[in-house]
Structure formats: structure tokens, C-alpha cells
Amino acid sequence: MRLVYASRALRDIDGILERVHERSPKGAKNVSLAIEHTIAICAAGPYTGTKTDEPSLYRYPLAKYRYTIFYRVDADQDRVEIVRIVHGARVKSLGRLPADDRRSSQRTGSEFGRPGRDQQLPRRPFRQVR
């Protein structure tokens, strides 16, 4: 399936890597690789994640770190949208998409194809951590 990233997911990744990099540059690289690996698993087998209460929305935890990837599957368009990546401590209910810090994220499947809501990125979307 084709992989796309919501702009909020990209901001989540940047924020996570920025916070981890402040404490440990090497740790930030490891977290980046773990996120990338888990996203690849979600794209390769989109239905392997845990289904949430929202239609077509799944979640998949990182194996080593306490982050959860929330993603939406659109089988009609043959794509997986990475919606959010959040730390486990910020998730109140694993059955729902966590609210955006700036506004509510109660998104529906009808927003899936809206122009400007997602971006197709090259294979390695993460900022290089040194």
C-alpha cells in the first residue's frame, strides 16, 4: 500500500526526535529508526495493528519505546495514512485518536482524501540525526 503522512504526524515525529535529541543524540537516531521500522510494518501489513473505535483507524506500538502510531487504512485508494505518533503517557484511550494539542482531531474517513491534508513523502521522511 502507498504510504502518506498527515501533517500532524510529521510534527509529532519532529517533536519526538527534538526532545530525545536534547538528552541523547544517539537515542534520537535509535528512536527514529524504530519509528521508521514500525511505519514500514504498518504499510506492509496494515491490518496487523489493533483496530480502534474509529472506522479504518488502527494503532501499532513501537516495540522498544513507549510510542504508539495511529494510522488510517483506505483500501479503496490502496493507501495507509500515518495520522499521529504519540507517547503512551499522552494517550488516555487507546481506542480513540488522541486530540491534537492545538485543536480537536476528531477526523472522519471523509477527510481522508481532502487536498492538503496529507503529503506523499520519499521513503525516508525523517530528519537526519547526527
2 φ/ψ angles, rounded to the nearest 5 degrees:
-75, 140
23-28 long-range contacts, CB within 8 A, separation 24+: 25/129, 25/130, 28/129
| 55 CB-near residues (< 8 Å, 6+ apart) | 109
What CATH number labels 2-94? Answer: 3.30.2310.20
- Counted residue by residue, the chain has a size of 130
CA distance 121 to 130: 21
Output 40 or 1, whichever has higher pLDDT: 40
Q: Where are the domains of the chain?
A: 2-94
Q: Does the reported pTM lie above 0.75?
A: no
pLDDT > 90 fraction of the chain, expressed in percent and rounded: 59
Per-residue pLDDT of 12-21, as tens digits, reads 999 999 999 9
Residue 113 has pLDDT above 90, yes or no: no
The model's pLDDT over 63-88, given as tens digits with 9 standing for 90+, comes to 899 899 999 999 999 999 999 999 87
Quote the CA–CA distance of 77 and 124 in Å, as a whole number.
Answer: 22
Confirm if 76 and 89 have CB atoms less than 8 A apart: no
Sign of the alpha-carbon dihedral angle for 101, 1, 111, 96: negative
